[in-house]
Amino acid sequence: AQSVTQLGSHVSVSEGALVLLRCNYSSSVPPYLFWYVQYPNQGLQLLLKYTTGATLVKGINGFEAEFKKSETSFHLTKPSAHMSDAAEYFCAVSDPPGANSKLTFGKGITLSVRP
C-alpha cells in the first residue's frame, strides 16, 4: 500500500522568501510522484510530476521538486514566494501507469504568503 505524509497543515512565509513544502512517501514499487495546487473553491491543478529519469523536476510558476529515493522524499521548493502562491498544495504518489493505477494524496498543506 502506498501512503503520503505531509507534515504540518499550514506554512507561512514572507513574500520573496524561500518556499519549502515537505512530502514523504511510502511505496513498495518505484513511485510516480506529483504535486498539485488548489486555489480556494477550485479543483486541483498539476504543478509537476516525477516519473523516471532526472530527479530534479521543474514545474509551473517557478516551482521545482527533487526526488530523493534514500530519504523517500519529494519536497517542493520555490526560491521566492509571490502573493499569488497562496493556496493549498497536495503531494501524491502513484503506482507506475496502468489501468489499475491510482493516486494516493497527502492531506495537503496550506501556504500563506505575508506581504
Partner 1 sequence: DGGITQSPKYLFRKEGQNVTLSCEQNLNHDAMYWYRQDPGQGLRLIYYSQIVNDFQKGDIAEGYSVSREKKESFPLTVTSAQKNPTAFYLCASRALQSSGANVLTFGAGSRLTVL
Contact flag: residue 55 with partner 1 (CB under 8 A): no
For partner 1, how many residues bind (rule: CB under 8 A)?
26
Q: Which is closer to partner 1, CB of 11 or CB of 103?
A: 103
Question: The cell 489501468 sits on which residue?
Answer: 99
Looking at the DSSP bridge assignments, the partners of residue 20 are 77
CB-facing half-sphere around the CA of 105: CA atoms within 13 A: 12
- In the list 13, 24, 25, 32, the residue contacting partner 1 (rule: CB under 8 A) is 32
Backbone angles phi, psi at 9, to 5 degrees: -110, -10
Binding site for partner 1 (CB under 8 A): 9, 32, 34, 36, 41-46, 49, 51, 90, 94-95, 97-103, 105-108
